[in-house]
A = this chain, B = another copy of it.
């Protein structure tokens, strides 16, 4: 079964400079070697094209749930049909939305053949999101994000309870995130039933992003 390693570039400086592109090149090389691991890069819209030139499994970090029109400075979800983006994160802990906007975005993404990763803080939120049939649900307790304390060790019950809640509605793949720092945190999440992980600072703020990326992919592949 294919594992998912989703890397959220966030708005770290490395998301915009050469590091982000190098990560894309490395993802390209690693993906061809490790068939059991799907690497997804969730990048700021402004670098989407630049990153996509090096690697093609690229998502946006947020899209706006309305249609084309007079919306200066917003990104209508339907505009993705003109884009190389494969899909989008939705409702990330740092960009929370009302349920109706999550619903609208997932629905349009489906209709234009794009994927969605809907994010949840808690099992209850994951339960409601499962009803909307996103392609993936990422569970991330906000209090652990960016702390280096991995959800898979500190709050394994959040992962297992979220998976249980999601599966009670339908079979949506669940990713785990928040505090995932080393490859072992990822394999631990997979042991708990997750399909993969959502990682950010562990790679984007690392001194050696390529080495960390490499270790995640290798561990998740041989797992």
Contacts and interface: CB of A to CB of B under 8 A. Distances in A.
Given A45-B46, A79-B16, A127-B131, A72 B89 contact: yes
A223 interface: no
Contacts of A73: 44, 60-62, 89, 92, 94-95
B168 A79 contact: no
Contacts of A145: 70
A169 interface: yes
Interface in A64-123: 68-76, 79, 82-83, 85, 89, 92-100, 103, 120-123
Contact of A11 (B72, B96, B99, B125): B72
A92 B73 CA distance: 8
Nearest to A133: B124
Contacts of A201: 70
A69 B132 contact: no
Interface residues of A, number: 61
Interface in A35-63: 42, 44-46, 48-50, 60-62
Nearest to A53: B49
Contacts of A71: 10-11, 94
A75 B46 contact: yes
21 contacts: A10-B71, A10-B72, A11-B70, A11-B72, A11-B76, A16-B82, A42-B72, A45-B45, A49-B49, A61-B73, A62-B72, A70-B145, A70-B200, A71-B94, A74-B95, A96-B98, A99-B125, A100-B121, A100-B142, A103-B122, A123-B131
Interface of A: 8, 10-13, 15-17, 42, 44-46, 48-50, 60-62, 68-76, 79, 82-83, 85, 89, 92-100, 103, 120-125, 127-129, 131-132, 142, 145-146, 165, 168-169, 200-201
Given A10-B71, A11-B71, A13-B68, 14 more contacts: A10-B70, A11-B74, A11-B76, A12-B68, A12-B70, A17-B82, A44-B45, A70-B145, A72-B93, A96-B99, A99-B120, A99-B125, A124-B132, A168-B168
